[in-house]
Chain A
Amino acid sequence: MDAVLLQILNGLDKGSAYALIALGLTLIFGTLGVVNFAHGALFMIGAFCSVTLQRLLTLSVETIDETQKDFLGNPLKVKTPYVENWFGPEMGQAIIDWSVPLAILFAIPVMLLIGFIMERGLIKHFYKRPHADQILVTFGLAIVLQEVVKYFYGANPIPTPAPDVFRGSFDFAPLLGLDTSLAYPYWRLVYFGFSTVIIAAVFAFLQFTTFGMVVRAGMADRETVGLLGIDIDRRFTIMFGIAAAVAGLAGVMYAPINSPNYHMGMDFLVLSFVVVVVGGMGSLPGAVLAGFLLGILESLASMNEIKNIIYGIDQIIIYVVAIVILLVRPRGLMGRRGVMEE
Chain B
Amino acid sequence: MFGLEKRDTFLLGVVIVLTLFAPFILNPFPANSAMAQFNAGYPDLMQRFVIFGIFAIGFNILFGLTGYLSFGHAAFLGVGSYSAVWMFKLLSYNVVPALVLAVIMAGLFSALIGFISLRRSGIYFSILTLAFAQMSFNLAYSVLTPITNGETGLQIYTSDPQYLQSASAPAFPNLFGAAMNSSTTLFFGGWTFTFSVGYYFCAAFLILAFYLAIRIFRSPFGMMLRAVKSNQQRMNYTGLNTRPYTLAAFVISGMYAGLAGGLLAAMDPLAGAERMQWTASGEVVLMTILGGAGTLIGPVLGAGFIKYFENIFAKINDNVLHGWFAFMPDGIEDAMVAIIHPFVGKGWHLTLGLLFMLVVIFLPGGLVEGGQRLGRVFRRKDHNAGSVESDAAQQRSEAAE
- Direct touch of chains A and B (CB < 8 A): yes
* Chain A residues within CB distance 8 Å of chain B: 35, 122, 125, 129-133, 135-137, 139-144, 147-148, 151, 266, 270, 273-274, 277, 281, 311-312, 315-316, 319-320, 322-323, 326-327, 330, 340, 342
Tell whether, in the assembled complex, residue B142 and residue A147 are in contact, meaning their CB atoms are under 8 Å apart. Answer: no
Tell whether, in the assembled complex, residue A132 and residue B356 are in contact, meaning their CB atoms are under 8 Å apart. Answer: no
Candidates B131, B278, B347; contact of A147 at CB < 8 Å: B347
Known: A144-B354, A270-B278, A327-B116. A132 touches B67 (CB 8 A): yes
> In this assembly, does B244 line the interface, its C-beta being within 8 Å of a C-beta of chain A?
no
22 contacts between A and B (CB under 8 A): A129-B400, A130-B67, A132-B67, A133-B364, A135-B126, A140-B360, A143-B356, A144-B357, A270-B130, A270-B278, A274-B127, A277-B124, A312-B143, A315-B139, A316-B143, A319-B131, A319-B135, A323-B132, A323-B135, A326-B120, A327-B120, A342-B121
Compute the total of residue contacts between A and B using a CB distance below 8 Å.
114
Residues of B within 8 A of A139 (CB): 282, 285, 356
Chain A proximity mask over B342-373: 1 for CB below 8 Å, otherwise 0: 10000101101110110011001000000000
Question: How far does the alpha carbon of A340 sit from the alpha carbon of B126 in the complex, in Å?
Answer: 13
Question: How far does the alpha carbon of A242 sit from the alpha carbon of B55 in the complex, in Å?
Answer: 40
Known: A151-B350, A326-B120, A330-B120. A315 touches B360 (CB 8 A): no
Tell whether, in the assembled complex, residue A323 and residue B350 are in contact, meaning their CB atoms are under 8 Å apart. Answer: no
> In this assembly, does B128 line the interface, its C-beta being within 8 Å of a C-beta of chain A?
yes
Which residue of the partner chain A has the closest CB to B289? A136
Question: How far does the alpha carbon of A143 sit from the alpha carbon of B349 in the complex, in Å?
Answer: 7
Number of interface residues of B (CB under 8 A): 42
Which residue of the partner chain A has the closest CB to B144? A312
Which residue of the partner chain A has the closest CB to B232? A342
Tell whether, in the assembled complex, residue B142 and residue A315 are in contact, meaning their CB atoms are under 8 Å apart. Answer: yes
* Chain B residues within CB distance 8 Å of chain A: 67, 69, 116, 119-124, 126-128, 130-132, 134-135, 138-139, 141-144, 278-279, 282, 285, 289, 342, 347, 349-350, 352-354, 356-357, 360-361, 364, 399-400
Question: How far does the alpha carbon of A202 sit from the alpha carbon of B91 in the complex, in Å?
Answer: 61
Tell whether, in the assembled complex, residue A312 and residue B139 are in contact, meaning their CB atoms are under 8 Å apart. Answer: yes
Known: A266-B279, A270-B130, A323-B128. A131 touches B289 (CB 8 A): no
Residues of B within 8 A of A277 (CB): 124, 127
Candidates B352, B356, B399; contact of A136 at CB < 8 Å: B356
Candidates B123, B138, B349, B352; contact of A135 at CB < 8 Å: B123
Question: How far does the alpha carbon of A277 sit from the alpha carbon of B127 in the complex, in Å?
Answer: 8
Question: Nearest Cβ in chain B — how far from A66, in angstroms?
Answer: 38
Tell whether, in the assembled complex, residue B122 and residue A131 are in contact, meaning their CB atoms are under 8 Å apart. Answer: yes
Known: A136-B289, A141-B357, A315-B142. A147 touches B350 (CB 8 A): yes
Give the top 10 A-B pairs by smallest Cβ distance, nearest first.
A312-B143, A143-B353, A147-B350, A140-B357, A140-B356, A144-B353, A319-B135, A315-B138, A137-B360, A132-B69
Question: How far does the alpha carbon of A270 sit from the alpha carbon of B281 in the complex, in Å?
Answer: 13
Tell whether, in the assembled complex, residue A323 and residue B131 are in contact, meaning their CB atoms are under 8 Å apart. Answer: yes
